[in-house]
Structure 1
Amino acid sequence: MGGTSNRSVERAFKLVDELAENGSGGVSDLAERLDMPVSTVHDYLQALVETGYITVDEKTYQTTTRFLEVGHRQRHRLEVFKAVRDELEDVAAETGEHATLLIEEDDQAVILAVQEGPDAINLFAYPGARMPLHATAPGKAMLAYMPADRVDDIIDRQGLVAVTSRTITDPEVLFEQLESVRQQGYAIDEGERIAGMVCIAAPILDKSDQVRGSICVCGPQSRIDETRRNEIADVIQRAANVTQVNLDYV
């Protein structure tokens, strides 16, 4: 019974993920895309419509904003989000660039909050967006402060997939970079996830030195030279330090 229930839940969420990824779909279309019987897809969709998480209009289904509500509530429960809100706004204003707060969840880096400075370019970054830890500055900033055996486990489960031609795909190179992150206190990725972009991130640690997230600033390679990188690194490290203090009082 339990196995059947688990498969049902898994199939239902596959439908949700497919709709979230592609915007909408009809029963036959979704059944073909997911290689599931039409009758099964129809039953699951009807159940999801009844819960309010999916809506239907002229036989076309799409997700509703109920998922946004769930995510918003969960985000506000997280201590690191409460501790960093004002700091992130200041980072965006001071650097002029795109500033984000990320956490690690299920072996991935997940955006919790976004602030855009006056010069920020549109990166289509939004709360809930997920990305590989190894291919991003914030991901590497968090990996650097995790136990080595946990990093090994993440690599075993997720692999080191090449997102761009500059993504690190060699574990030895990654571990060398993580050592550099610990020494300098911040991480950099140069086009490792988005070609032409430089991202700089500092880890957020709590009073027990456990990593709770990271603050990241991204901007075009053409305007983030060595001097600006150092300036941005100083800004985000200060913000991460203030956030660490705030965590003690959340």
Structure 2
Amino acid sequence: MSDLMNHTGFGAPIQENDPAVNKSLYKALLILDCFSEAQPEWGVSDLSRHLGIGKSSVSTMLSTLAHLNFVYQSPVTRRYRLGLRCLELGYVASSNLLIRDFAFPILERLLKGSRIVYMAIPYRDSVLYVETLFPIRRQVNYSSVGRRAPLYCTAIGKAMLAHMPDDYIHQYIQSTSLTAYTANTITKPDQLLDELEQIRAEGYALDRQEKELGIQCVAVAIRRNQDGVIGAISISGSPQEIDFDNLDTLAHEVMNASSEIAKKVTTSGY
């Protein structure tokens, strides 16, 4: 296994003779990295085939991770899921994300009517939600914090993608299957490039029910001194709540909030 990068997307490929890398630890972290919302459960043989690591090594590493509560093995199926230690660490990570502290009072001002307010950061070719604000009267039984979504079919994702380097944008489009979630999803590379150019010109991105029918969004990137994307914020709701007939007003609200967050982030040295 000369290139462990095939499975992760972290950093540069690891060389077998790199003295700075603990290979056993890296392989154990690769195992943890396989667990996802799409595939939350794995068996030893599945992981061995997927990662190209021997079954004996995978079994030993999983046993160690289970001992430390990073994974849990079902006594019935003998398959593994993430353990409670991961939940605990996820809370620690999210609660210490400084951009949330800077942004929260500003995001609260965007919370009007029945709209939902999101903040996300770019992470491994996708959107990673780090804050969600719901209206008080709306009953919810989930949070988007910690969940991922595609860049190309969400307003918050397109807002970030539009301000990334050209080389990255073209690499992303070439390596990403632009799957249709609805009839409104952008599935053609040229169309997406045109959309990103329009976002750069206008300063905001729209989700025209592209990811989910009945949901529209307006999003704006958070940028540090107009150079580099820190994240993005969006307002989301039904077509009645996020009415594009009032787009100028909605976009102005979100752009002002994004600018205020960016100033706080820049002056803090974050």
For the superposition of Structure 1 and Structure 2, which TM-score range results when normalised by the shorter chain? 0.7 to 0.9
* 1:212/1:9 CA distance change after superposition, 3 Å: same
Q: 1:228 to 1:116 in 2, by over 3 A?
A: farther
Partner of 1:49: 66
What is the alpha-carbon distance in structure 1 between the residues aligned to residue 137 and residue 245 of structure 2? 17
Deviation at 1:11, TM superposition (A): 6.0
Following TM superposition, by how much is the alpha carbon of 1:40 offset from its aligned partner in structure 2, in angstroms?
6.2
Contact 2:113 2:241 in 1 (8 A): no
- The structure 2 residue matched to 1:65, chosen from 84, 92, 95, is 84
Q: 1:80 is matched by which residue type in structure 2?
A: I
The correspondence for 1:74, drawn from 93, 98, 101, is 93
- Is the alpha carbon distance of 1:65 and 1:85 closer, same or farther for their aligned partners in structure 2, counting shifts above 3 Å? farther
Tell me if the contact between 1:98 and 1:121 (Cα under 8 Å) persists in the aligned partners.
no
Give the drift of 1:213: 0.7
Q: CA deviation at 1:45?
A: 3.1
With over 3 angstroms needed to count, the CA separation of the structure-2 counterparts of 1:225 and 1:119, relative to structure 1, is farther
* Pick aligned residue for 1:157 from 175, 185, 194: 175
TM-score, normalisation: structure 2? 0.76
Q: 1:164-203: CA deviations, max 9, x gaps? A: 2221111211121112212221110111111221011011
Contact 1:109 1:139 survives alignment (8 Å): yes
Listed one character per residue, the Cα deviations across residues 130-187 of structure 1 (whole Å, up to 9, x for unaligned) are: 1110111011111111122211111123232323222111121112111221222111
TM-score where L is the length of structure 1: 0.81
Deviation, 1:46, is 1.6
- Give the 3 Å change call, closer, same or farther, for CA 124–161 of structure 1 in structure 2: farther
Structure 1 gaps of 5+ residues are: none
The separation in 1 between residues aligned to 2:141 and 2:166, in whole angstroms, is 31
Paired residue secondary structure (1:84): helix
User: Partner of 1:147 in structure 2?
Assistant: 165
Per the alignment, do residues 142 and 53 of structure 1 end up closer, same or farther by CA in structure 2, a change over 3 Å counting? Answer: same
Equivalence for 2:210: 192
Q: Number of aligned pairs?
A: 243
Does 2:153 correspond to 1:135? yes
Q: C-alpha distance in 2, partners of 1:176/1:125? A: 32
Q: What is the aligned partner in structure 2 of residue 180 from structure 1?
A: 198
Out of 81, 84, 99, the residue aligned to residue 103 of structure 2 is 84
Q: Which moved more, 1:111-120 or 1:181-190?
A: 111-120
Superposed CA RMSD in Å reads 3.1
CA positional deviation for 1:96: 3.4
Residue in 1 aligned with 2:254?
236
